[in-house]
Amino acid sequence: MKKLLSIVFIIGSIFFANSQSANKLKKELLNSIEQKSSELTALSDKIWSAAEVAFREEKSSEYLIKYAEENGLKVEKGLAGMPTAFTATYGEGKPVIGIIGEFDALPGLSQTADSFRNELTKGGAGHGCGHNLFGTASLGAAVAIKELIEKGVITGTIKFFGTPAEEKFFGKLWMIRDGVFDDVDICMDWHPADHTEANVQPSLALVDFMV
């Protein structure tokens, strides 16, 4: 929840800089998230249970797409040649703020919601990196911002990017290649962890090789 609120507050500050107004804005965003906490938790649990690996996230992506559409975002599916890649957009004009959400699981990490090793399905997939939280919380932030645009409190465009296959094949590369991110002014992401912090990775380079 703290991570989600941090994302929402940062994005809200980008849209609306006045400090007094920003404090009021934060309260509205907080209220939006609190009102939806049960349904967002349920959405996260569904993605946890689906536990689908790269390029096979059919249920997980559809859960997110359904929630986005139910909350008034316009969805575009099957992007960059990937059936499970999508965007969910609301608003018009600048700024265009993007939020990334991942939802794929890892092979061999089937696990119950316990603090010890207990497979649900022997040798099955599971969420070892919390991407069930990642996709859900990012979409929750997008919906909260959407509500303020809808009320006329802020102006601009909020865009959620459903990015599949991150754990193994880096689906964002396909999306970048096909220009899916070209219209954004800023694109943000985060990752589940055991504490809340702003972190800049020491390196953005990646070398992939096979032995």
Residue boundaries of the structural domains of the chain? 2-188
**81 backbone φψ class: left, alpha, beta (φ>0; ψ -120 to 50):** left
Q: What does the pLDDT read at residue 201? A: 64
CB 4 within 8 A of CB 192: no
Predicted confidence band of residue 112 (pLDDT cuts 50, 70, 90) = confident
Q: What does the pLDDT read at residue 20? A: 57
Q: Which of 1, 4, 175, 199 is nearest to 86 (CA)?
A: 175
Q: Find residue 87's DSSP bridge partners.
A: 76, 161
10 vs 96, residue with greater confidence: 96
Predicted confidence band of residue 210 (pLDDT cuts 50, 70, 90) = low
CB 85 within 8 A of CB 141: no
Q: Which of 96, 88, 98 is nearest to 61 (CA)?
A: 88
- Label residues 4-31 b or e (16+ Cβ within 10 Å = b): bbbbbbebbebbbeeeeeeeebbebbee
How far lies 101's CA from each of 21, 88, 109, 159, 186, in Å?
A: 28, 11, 20, 11, 15
Which of 97-106, 121-130, 194-203 is the least confident region?
194-203
Q: What does the pLDDT read at residue 90? A: 98
Distance separating alpha carbons of residues 161 and 172, to the nearest angstrom: 9
For 2-188, which CATH superfamily applies? Zn peptidases (3.40.630.10)
Percent of the chain with pLDDT over 70: 84
Average pLDDT over residues 105-124: 87
Q: Taking all residues of the chain, what is their mean pLDDT, rounded to a whole number? A: 86
Collapse the DSSP code of 186 into the 3-class scheme (helix H, G, I; strand E, B; otherwise coil) and give the result: strand
Q: What does the pLDDT read at residue 202? A: 62
Which of 79-83, 180-184, 206-210 is the least confident region?
206-210
- Provide the whole-model pTM: 0.84
Which of 14-18, 19-23, 66-70 is the least confident region?
14-18
pLDDT at 18 over 60: no
Q: What does the pLDDT read at residue 9? A: 47
Distance separating alpha carbons of residues 38 and 60, to the nearest angstrom: 18
